[in-house]
Amino acid sequence: MPKHKPFWKKGRGKLGLLNPLMGSWMAAADSPMGPLNCTRVFEPILGGNYIQLKAKWNFSKYAYEEYAIIGMQDGVLSFWSFTSDGKRSQGSLADGKDVHPEAICFEAQMPAGLARMIYWPNSDGGFDWAVESKTKKGWNRFTLHHYKPLK
């Protein structure tokens, strides 16, 4: 098997894994609620000890927002997410190499079961993002977006 050539340049330190995601990104996608545009902004906060994610999903007549904080908890890279519908979740870094060798994957126990979100590089310089739920047969992908830098 040929050796994988990395797309992403990771940074130093425990949060350096997230370096490829830093900045502002946008995706356009279709959804069961119609077409949407989604922006994701990743930025360091609190002296660089945490990363803040601000995500906004814009549908034709509806907007949905998420704020998440990513940082270390008990030596594990973890996230805490809060959404405009009043829900919240938390989870931690997991293995997403089944999706891509450089995937950044977080898993969380949700009311409906185990879920994961995965970020991985796209050859155009952007990244792909997916949400999946765990089933008896494996992972079921129900959301996929392709993000490009927001200019």
**Confidence at residue 30, expressed as pLDDT on a 0 to 100 scale:** 84
Mean of per-residue pLDDT scores for the chain: 92
Average pLDDT over every residue of 93-110: 96
Give the CA angle between residues 50, 40, 148 to the nearest 5°. Answer: 125
CA Rg value for the chain: 15
Domain locations in the chain as residue ranges? 16-149
Does the model's pTM come out above 0.85?
yes
pLDDT in tens, 54-99: 999 999 888 999 999 999 999 999 999 999 999 999 999 999 999 9
What's the number of CA atoms in the CB half-sphere (13 Å) around residue 117? 14
**Confidence at residue 6, expressed as pLDDT on a 0 to 100 scale:** 57
**Confidence at residue 3, expressed as pLDDT on a 0 to 100 scale:** 53
What's the number of CA atoms in the CB half-sphere (13 Å) around residue 131? 7
Type of residue at 73: Q
Spatial separation of the C-alpha atoms in residues 56 and 73, rounded to whole Å = 26
User: 13 pLDDT exceeds 90?
Assistant: no
**Confidence at residue 138, expressed as pLDDT on a 0 to 100 scale:** 94
Task: Give the CATH H-level superfamily of domain 16-149.
Answer: Calycin beta-barrel core domain (2.40.128.20)
User: 4 pLDDT exceeds 90?
Assistant: no
Q: Give the 3-state secondary structure of residue 120.
A: strand
**Confidence at residue 114, expressed as pLDDT on a 0 to 100 scale:** 96
User: 1 pLDDT exceeds 50?
Assistant: no
